[in-house]
Structure 1
Amino acid sequence: MPAYHSAFNEEPDVRTVGNTAVLPIKTRIRGPAPLMADSNQPDIIDETLDLFRANSLFRNFEIKGPADRLLIILILYISDCLLKVQASRVPPNQNEAGKMLNTFAVDNFPLPGDAGFPLNAHYQAPASRIDADQLRSYLVQVRQEMSARLVERLYADGTGKPSKWWMCFTKRRFMQRSLST
């Protein structure tokens, strides 16, 4: 059974930096990401949250387009976020988890082409320093929005504790990789 790929691979006129797509998102966070024309349609963040648990079960992933590269980065980011929430001795409440993950979203992280990026074999480095800065600011904005939406899903049941149906995926490693190590 093959892994689930991004529906945004077929989108025409998608801007890419290196070979990673810069897709529009629905957000209130300021940044360089283009805004979605129709806010009722799912964006790459919604798609990643929907596909995360299914794709986490796969060790291999065939990249079919630039949107898949962004999907991989976001799936690995969700894994790191879940590990961050689990690392607390006492399970954090929704506000604490939101603050913790928002701080994690803006922390320094390697870009494709940097020495610490775990999937450099599959990604091209940005062509210039300006492109690298634009990609970094785009990824920071997407990571912040992803953190906010992930916290909403983690605490959707109203118990004040993270959902065990999400936290059980901390043991799973998509493609046996992590962005943080």
Structure 2
Amino acid sequence: MPAYHSSLNEEPDVRQVGNMSILPIKTKIRGPAPLADPNSADIIDETLDLFRANSLFRNFEIKGPADRLLIVLILFVSDCLAKLGSQRSPPSQLEAGKTLNTLSVDNFPIPGDANFALNAHYAPPQSRVDGEYLRQYLTQVRQELAARLIERLYMDGSGKPSKWWMAFQKRRFMNRSLGS
């Protein structure tokens, strides 16, 4: 059974930095990301919907530039769950939000950096300006992804993260980690 790919691979008129798509997102967080239609799914919704199914796969065929962004975001969700799971007791929703927001804005490698885990599959940005734009875009997307992940983790109102999500804290998509 093949892994699930992004439905946004065929989107027309999408900016690319390196060979990664810069897709619109629904957000209130300031940053360079284009704004998406509030009534349609964006790459963050797609990441959260496909995370658990795709995290079971060791191989992933990249079919387009949106898949490259999807891979980075799935690995970030995996790092978020590992960070929450490494705490001694399950964090409250507020504590988890603070932890993941800090993780999302921490310095992280982008394609082209020496310590980026997937450099073999990603083209580096063409210029320093493009590289800075990509870093700002990914920071904004990571912040929005962390906020939406917290909503899903604590959806039941029990004050504890969902065991159906936390079961994936040790799973590694493609046996990789972003190293956050």
TM norm structure 2: 0.99
Q: Distance in 2 between matches of 1:105 and 1:96?
A: 14
Q: Secondary structure at the match of 1:158?
A: coil
Tell me the equivalent position of 1:112: 111
Tell me the equivalent position of 2:65: 66
What is the percent sequence identity of the aligned residues?
Answer: 74
Tell me the equivalent position of 1:145: 144
**What stretches of structure 1 of length at least 5 have no aligned partner?**
none
**Shift of the alpha carbon at 1:69?**
0.1
Q: Secondary structure at the match of 2:167?
A: helix
**Shift of the alpha carbon at 1:90?**
1.5
Measured on the aligned residues, the alpha-carbon RMSD in Å equals 0.7
Output one character per residue of 1:17-65: Cα deviation in whole Å (capped at 9) or x when no partner: 00000000000000000001x2110000000000000000000000000
Q: Distance in 1 between matches of 2:163 and 2:74?
A: 18
Tell me the equivalent position of 1:48: 47
**Shift of the alpha carbon at 1:124?**
0.3
Tell me the equivalent position of 1:133: 132
**Shift of the alpha carbon at 1:106?**
0.3
**What stretches of structure 2 of length at least 5 have no aligned partner?**
none
Q: Distance in 2 between matches of 1:97 and 1:5?
A: 29
Tell me the equivalent position of 1:121: 120
Q: Distance in 1 between matches of 2:48 and 2:162?
A: 14
Q: In the comparison of the two structures, how many residue pairs are matched?
A: 180
**Shift of the alpha carbon at 1:172?**
1.1
**Shift of the alpha carbon at 1:171?**
1.9
